[in-house]
């Protein structure tokens, strides 16, 4: 009989164990087991409130491990295994293994969740609970006094709590040195700020602008950050601080007018106090709050539209007329003019001197450098922008190259300006005869014939007259020349101000730098697209020069080409007996090969950039 009872008892133990594992009779069996634990662990820490807690369905052994031998346990030899919350909270545990508090401070779950035996389902929002938990260790003067926490504790659940910025169980680990943060950390926290402040619905509920992020991203700070070089510029926390984030009307705020000099001085040094008048989140479409920016935008946009409307229409009409005539000649079997060589027509004459060709080559290099280092910031959201900056070795090195190229361009402009003055004020003759030189055929100064040529060209476009007979300089070449003077005033002047904004603040107030940035950006677009579309067409892509004209590289062309393209200049030089003075040897093979390589590479690269810029412009 005793053997039967023993077998039955063994069967009941096994069945009970299976039932526990299967969840059957779980509460009853665990409750009975817990009653056994409470005979020794009768402290109220383990008993009071446990039945109503969120862990009430768990037994003591489910967390503390099964005791193999009760006697050994009571003697202190058989101790339960350490609590492993992973058993139930697997996802949270995986996150916490990468948590700063775990890796750096060796915090365990119980350090934050100390009320584990009496923890009940709270009706207090998790955001507020997170604040209360974090401020048990972290000083709360800064955060709780700030705009975010103040609004949160008043019941505004849109306001950020500790967990919104730092995460709850996945608080990141960043190794920082003094007050500098690695790029990953800076971008991580900037992204957290942007997530809320770009949410139109959330900002609308709180009477804040959802465009504030967009405005920031259009500044130099935002652009450099967006292309992946966040450590070089100010992010959200650099200006607004990390916790004590208050509106600018609050005297304690880092962006209060009385605190801006100190705030900006954390990154910038040696500036005039009016430097802080710079607008960190400007809206150039806001006429009321930013009138200078608004009217600058209107002017630059109008200049772009008018310039390209005229010249792109001019180019399209010219292209149509040229190809129509070429098609007509081919159809009628007429030999191209370029195929007819007159007596002596193969002889070359000089149009550009060696110094002028060298200056043009340096200009090409500096211009492409400026474009490839500047436009990645203008179109910072485009996938090709970081590639260009990486080519230059990053945003900082691209900025260095940009300034060097700008200095070279300013030097070239200064040489051209000086040579222009010397042309008018001839050496030895002084101002004597300056009118003849200024308005003569060799001058780039506009004259009445240019207006007549323009009208004649338009009539020729529409088959209403013959093509004008040009002299040394055409009206579009003169426009190219004088556009440089406006361009250097606009893009060069604004660039010099932006070169060292701290020093510029001794000349102009900070808000002028916003205007300079807009002018610099829009004028750069005007210059690049004009060169790559209008200038390229007028000089290389016209049918009788396509695919390129090597003249600017070789410096000479044949007498027949002179007759065909500039008949008045040919007749004038012939009548004056100056053709012999201009005759030069035919360009050699190395020079022509170099001209073809450099020229075609420039044309192809410029055409590629044109496509990238137009796609980016349309997508804005």
What backbone torsions phi and psi does residue 430 show, to the nearest 5 degrees?
A: 65, -135
Answer whether residue 104 is part of any domain.
no
How high is the pLDDT of residue 14?
Answer: 46
Per-residue DSSP letters for 146-162? SHHHHHHHTT-TTS--H
Tally of structural domains, the chain: 3
**Residues 439, 446: Cα–Cα separation, whole Å:** 7
- Among 267, 300, 327, give the residue marking a domain's end: 267
Both 342 and 212 in one domain: the answer is no
Nearest to 207 by CA among 258, 254, 147, 143: 147
**CATH number, position 521:** 1.20.950.20
> DSSP code of 348?
E
Both 236 and 297 in one domain: the answer is no
- Among 29, 56, 85, give the residue marking a domain's end: 85
Alpha helical stretches, state H, 333-461: 354-378, 385-391, 395-424, 434-438, 448-461
Both 375 and 341 in one domain: the answer is yes
Are the beta carbons of 94 and 131 closer than 8 angstroms?
no
* CA 198 to chain centroid: 17
Both 309 and 258 in one domain: the answer is no
Region of residue 349 (left: phi > 0; alpha: psi -120 to 50; beta: else):
beta
**Would you call 199 exposed, middle or buried from its count of C-beta atoms within 10 A (0-12, 13-18, 19+)?**
middle
Average pLDDT, 10 consecutive residues per value, the chain (620 residues)? 49 46 41 62 73 80 75 76 81 84 82 80 84 79 72 86 86 59 76 90 90 91 88 86 84 92 93 94 91 96 96 94 82 61 73 95 97 96 94 94 97 95 84 88 94 96 93 95 93 95 95 96 96 93 84 92 92 92 91 93 95 89
Both 538 and 575 in one domain: the answer is yes
Region of residue 464 (left: phi > 0; alpha: psi -120 to 50; beta: else):
alpha
Are the beta carbons of 135 and 107 closer than 8 angstroms?
no
Both 298 and 193 in one domain: the answer is no
Both 391 and 243 in one domain: the answer is no
Both 560 and 606 in one domain: the answer is yes
- Among 267, 299, 322, give the residue marking a domain's end: 267
Both 527 and 402 in one domain: the answer is yes
**Would you call 554 exposed, middle or buried from its count of C-beta atoms within 10 A (0-12, 13-18, 19+)?**
buried
Hey, is 349 helix, strand or coil?
Answer: strand
Beta bridge partners of 584: 348
Answer whether residue 192 is part of any domain.
yes
Answer whether residue 94 is part of any domain.
no
Both 191 and 301 in one domain: the answer is no
How high is the pLDDT of residue 1?
Answer: 47
- Name, in order, each residue with C-beta under 8 angstroms of 565's C-beta and a sequence gap of 6 or more: 470
Are the beta carbons of 108 and 129 closer than 8 angstroms?
no
The range of the structural domain enclosing residue 551 comes to 291-619
Are the beta carbons of 543 and 315 closer than 8 angstroms?
no
Answer whether residue 283 is part of any domain.
no
- Name, in order, each residue with C-beta under 8 angstroms of 297's C-beta and a sequence gap of 6 or more: 284, 285, 518, 522
Q: Length of the chain in residues, anyone?
A: 620
**Residues 81, 87: Cα–Cα separation, whole Å:** 13
Answer whether residue 543 is part of any domain.
yes
Both 247 and 341 in one domain: the answer is no
Both 363 and 421 in one domain: the answer is yes
Answer whether residue 64 is part of any domain.
yes
**Residues 360, 531: Cα–Cα separation, whole Å:** 13
**Would you call 98 exposed, middle or buried from its count of C-beta atoms within 10 A (0-12, 13-18, 19+)?**
middle
Answer whether residue 141 is part of any domain.
no
Per-residue DSSP letters for 540-589? IISTTTTT--THHHH-EEEHHHHHHH-HHHHHHHHHHT-HHHHEEPPPPH
**Residues 477, 481: Cα–Cα separation, whole Å:** 6
**Residues 582, 349: Cα–Cα separation, whole Å:** 5
Answer whether residue 395 is part of any domain.
yes
């Amino acid at each position: 009989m005793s053997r039967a009872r023993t077998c039955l008892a063994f069967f009941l133990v096994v069945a009970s164990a299976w039932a526990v594992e299967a969840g059957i009779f779980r509460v009853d069996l665990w409750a009975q087991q817990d009653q056994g634990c409470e005979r020794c662990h009768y402290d109220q820490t383990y008993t009071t409130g446990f039945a109503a807690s969120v862990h009430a369905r768990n037994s003591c052994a489910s967390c503390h491990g099964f005791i193999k031998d009760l006697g050994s346990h009571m003697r202190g030899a058989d101790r339960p295994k350490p609590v492993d919350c992973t058993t139930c909270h697997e996802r949270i545990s995986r996150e916490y293994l990468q948590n700063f508090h775990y890796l750096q401070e060796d915090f365990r779950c119980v350090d934050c969740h100390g009320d584990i035996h009496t923890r009940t389902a709270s009706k207090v929002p998790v955001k507020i609970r997170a604040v209360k938990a974090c401020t048990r260790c972290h000083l709360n003067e800064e955060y709780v006094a700030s705009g975010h926490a103040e609004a949160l504790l008043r019941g505004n659940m849109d306001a950020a709590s500790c967990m919104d910025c730092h995460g709850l169980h996945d608080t990141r680990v960043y190794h920082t040195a003094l007050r500098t943060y690695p790029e990953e950390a800076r971008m991580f926290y900037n992204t957290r700020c942007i997530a809320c402040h770009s949410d139109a619905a959330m900002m609308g509920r709180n009477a804040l602008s959802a465009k504030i992020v967009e405005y920031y991203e259009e500044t130099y700070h935002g652009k450099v950050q967006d292309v992946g070089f966040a450590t070089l510029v100010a992010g959200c926390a650099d200006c607004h601080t990390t916790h004590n984030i208050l509106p600018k009307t609050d005297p304690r705020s880092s962006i209060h007018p009385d605190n801006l000099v100190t705030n900006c001085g954390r990154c910038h040094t040696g500036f005039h106090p009016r430097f802080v008048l710079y607008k960190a989140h400007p809206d150039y479409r806001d006429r009321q709050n930013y009138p200078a920016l608004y009217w600058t935008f209107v002017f630059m946009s109008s200049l772009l539209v008018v310039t390209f409307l005229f010249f792109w229409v001019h180019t399209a009409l010219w292209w149509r007329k040229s190809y129509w005539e070429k098609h007509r000649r081919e159809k009628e079997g007429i030999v191209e003019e370029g195929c007819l060589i007159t007596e002596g027509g193969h002889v070359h004459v000089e149009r550009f001197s060696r110094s002028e060709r060298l200056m043009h080559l340096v200009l090409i290099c500096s211009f492409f450098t400026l474009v490839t280092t500047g436009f990645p910031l203008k179109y910072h959201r485009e996938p090709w922008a970081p590639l260009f900056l990486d080519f230059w070795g990053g945003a900082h090195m691209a900025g260095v190259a940009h300034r060097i190229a700008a200095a070279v361009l300013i030097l070239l402009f200064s040489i051209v300006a000086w040579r222009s003055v010397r042309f008018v004020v001839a050496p030895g003759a002084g101002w004597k005869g300056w009118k003849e030189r200024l308005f003569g055929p060799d001058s780039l100064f506009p004259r009445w014939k240019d207006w007549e040529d323009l009208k004649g060209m338009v009539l020729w476009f529409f088959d209403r007259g013959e093509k004008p007979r040009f002299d040394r300089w055409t009206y579009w070449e003169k426009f190219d020349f004088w556009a440089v003077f406006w361009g250097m005033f606009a893009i060069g002047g604004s660039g010099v101000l932006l070169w060292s904004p701290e020093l510029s603040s001794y000349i102009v107030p900070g808000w002028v730098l916003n205007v300079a940035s807009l002018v610099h950006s829009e004028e750069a677009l005007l210059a690049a697209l004009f060169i790559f579309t209008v200038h390229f067409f007028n000089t290389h892509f016209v049918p009788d020069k396509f695919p390129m004209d090597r003249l600017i590289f070789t410096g000479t062309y044949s007498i027949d080409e002179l007759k065909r393209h500039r008949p008045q200049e040919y007749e004038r030089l012939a009548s004056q007996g100056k053709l012999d003075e201009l005759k030069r040897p035919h360009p050699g093979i190395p020079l022509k090969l170099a001209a073809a390589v450099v020229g075609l590479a420039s044309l192809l690269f410029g055409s590629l950039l044109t496509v990238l810029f137009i796609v980016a412009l349309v997508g804005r």
